Structure 1
Amino acid sequence: MMRRIVLFAVLAMLGATGARAEEDDVARQARWQDLRHAVFGDRRVEDGAGVITLEAPPRALDAALVPITIDLAEPAKVKAVYLMIDANPSPLAGTFHFGPAADARELRTRVRVDAYTLMHAVAETEDGRLFVAERFVKAAGGCSAPSTKDQKLAIARLGQMKLKPVGMETEGEAAANTGHDMVQLLISHPNYNGMQMDQLTRNYTPARFIQDVKVTRGDALVFDLAADISLSEDPAITFGLANGAPGDSAAPVTVEVHDSADATFKQSFDLPRKGT
């Protein structure tokens, strides 16, 4: 509930100025300072060099599917990551809270970008410090871009999920309990944000979007994502799984998704092991 209050405060504050592709650096930095204060209050936000990096294309090929990558130098010391797309209608795109089954050294996902904008990724460490990385992305119209799928097909496939390995660390690292598995979660969901027009009826499609994604391995939390309308259609999230205590790596991975229509989707996955 508190997250919603913060988001509404951000929208009310930033909506008056609007997002404009022609904003200069001074205006962009002023927008970021307003957003930073709305989300973090008077807490100090430090330069993230050596702590967190944010990668995104300088000019996106598709504003509705902009790939971003967040890297953490010391993931064990980070308890949460905030992703902000400053000029979007709802700037706080998502907040990842990590658990003991996460290896958070790398996160990847895809987002919508409404106008030329700064993006920020903020790492919150276990001792409460905040560190920020910044990128500027040239993209526009991603929030109102029409869905790539027929609405009936999108609803028929709603909530279907896949979880697949995308890379494995070496056996030696795993044996030393420092290895990790990278996996990609694919969620079938149109993530309608209320800004997209149906090309046949010329009416706006009602908003229906993913709000929460919780991933666990056995009884241990990997991450809990509080999301909003800036995630792309059919969200894709690539993340790391820690290989810690004996037996943990054999436990199934369970994904639970909640959307704004109060629907819940849940599925468990048994991942193939190294050497199998």
Structure 2
Amino acid sequence: MAYAFRTAAILALLAMPVWAEGIQNPLTDGPTWDDLRFDLVGETVPIDGGPLLVEAPYRAHDAATVPVILRQTDPTAVITHATVVIDENPAPVAAELSFGPAMSPIDFELRVRVNQYSNVRVLTQTPEATYMTGRFVKASGGCSAPASRDPDQALAGLGQMKLRMFGDATQQSTARREAQIMLRHPNYSGLQRNQITQLFIPAHFIDHLEVWQGDDLLFTMDGGISISENPVFRFSYMDNGVPALTVKATDTEGNAFEQVLAKTAEG
């Protein structure tokens, strides 16, 4: 009987889909969060769980571009802000996000660097409370991983943007849409070396980004060194009929970028 039970359990596990691996990497206990907690939330005690589900790989394929997805599970919740924290990174706060009404329910993806095995947690702010959820990610070396291009090439295309739209191009313009914004920027962390000189490349990264559809703000991001090279943001939103999105960004060197991107390129 015991043998049959074990066999059935093993077969059931083997039959589980690949995405079920995600349930194996909940947040873990550790001293780092105890050190960070007060600086991030003060005396507030975040409630575990909440209206956002966080998805991130248990073992990252590339520590320099780890996908983190925020999905709203309670459509009635009003989510105004979310902070992505990577406990073990040199600068733990990866991104502070704010969302406009058209982003609800939140379905948002960004890519981050993970420097060593770490909790990747999201602090979610609603008018009622602060919540916390996340994943434990096995990755290392993301903040010091070599840039994909040499500095001259990387800076030559600085600030170039691209918008990609997904779904049925014939759907009504006022329907819910899915989009991806790509921004050309090396987002140097300050921990990477020039592969020719072997000297450290000074930190130089996008520190603020805004996405608008007409006069309606979709989202903002205040970021640090943990946002990946050539930042990519994929998100769903309620289209208000304006034919383009406007993206505004600044970086730590005082550069300002702005581009109006037509909603024409379908994925």
TM-score when scaled to structure 2? 0.83
Q: What displacement does 1:128 show?
A: 4.3
Please give the alpha-carbon distance, in whole angstroms, between the structure 1 residues aligned to 2:167 and 2:44.
Answer: 37
1:199: which partner in 2?
195
1:13: which partner in 2?
none
2:48: which partner in 1?
47
1:257 aligns with 2:257: no
Please give the residue correspondences for 1:21-60 in structure 2 after superposition, counting only pairs within 5 Å.
Answer: 26=29, 28=30, 30-49=31-50, 51-60=51-60
Q: Quick one: which amino acid aligns to residue 209 of structure 1?
A: F
Q: In the alignment, is the contact (CA less than 8 A) between 1:82 and 1:95 conserved in 2?
A: yes
1:83 aligns with 2:84: yes
Q: What displacement does 1:252 show?
A: 2.1
Please give the alpha-carbon distance, in whole angstroms, between the structure 2 residues aligned to 1:273 and 1:77.
Answer: 30
1:6: which partner in 2?
none
Q: What displacement does 1:242 show?
A: 1.4
**Residues 180-232 of structure 1 deviation map (CA, whole Å, 9 limit, x = unaligned):** 11100100000001100111101001110000000111011111111111000
Please give the alpha-carbon distance, in whole angstroms, between the structure 1 residues aligned to 2:249 and 2:105.
Answer: 20
Q: What displacement does 1:120 show?
A: 0.3
Please give the alpha-carbon distance, in whole angstroms, between the structure 2 residues aligned to 1:155 and 1:116.
Answer: 31
SS in 2 for 1:155: helix
Please give the alpha-carbon distance, in whole angstroms, between the structure 2 residues aligned to 1:205 and 1:104.
Answer: 39
Q: In the alignment, is the contact (CA less than 8 A) between 1:183 and 1:238 conserved in 2?
A: yes
1:267: which partner in 2?
259
Q: Quick one: which amino acid aligns to residue 241 of structure 2?
A: S
2:209 corresponds to which of 213, 217, 223:
213
Gaps in structure 2 of 5+ consecutive residues: 1-27
1:238 aligns with 2:230: no
Q: Of the two, which has the highest radius of gyration?
A: 2
1:228: which partner in 2?
224
Q: What displacement does 1:101 show?
A: 3.3
Gaps in structure 1 of 5+ consecutive residues: 1-24
Q: In the alignment, is the contact (CA less than 8 A) between 1:185 and 1:238 conserved in 2?
A: yes
Q: In the alignment, is the contact (CA less than 8 A) between 1:256 and 1:265 conserved in 2?
A: yes
TM-score when scaled to structure 1? 0.81
Please give the residue correspondences for 1:116-131 in structure 2 after superposition, counting only pairs within 5 Å.
Answer: 116-125=117-126, 127-131=127-131
1:20: which partner in 2?
none
**Residues 79-119 of structure 1 deviation map (CA, whole Å, 9 limit, x = unaligned):** 01111111000001001111233235211111101010011
Q: In the alignment, is the contact (CA less than 8 A) between 2:58 and 2:138 conserved in 1?
A: yes
Q: What displacement does 1:251 show?
A: 4.2
Please give the alpha-carbon distance, in whole angstroms, between the structure 2 residues aligned to 1:194 and 1:184.
Answer: 27
SS in 1 for 2:80: strand
2:176: which partner in 1?
180
Q: In the alignment, is the contact (CA less than 8 A) between 2:70 and 2:109 conserved in 1?
A: yes
* Runs of 4+ off more than 4 Å: 168-171
Please give the alpha-carbon distance, in whole angstroms, between the structure 2 residues aligned to 1:213 and 1:128.
Answer: 26
Q: In the alignment, is the contact (CA less than 8 A) between 1:95 and 1:227 conserved in 2?
A: yes
SS in 2 for 1:250: coil
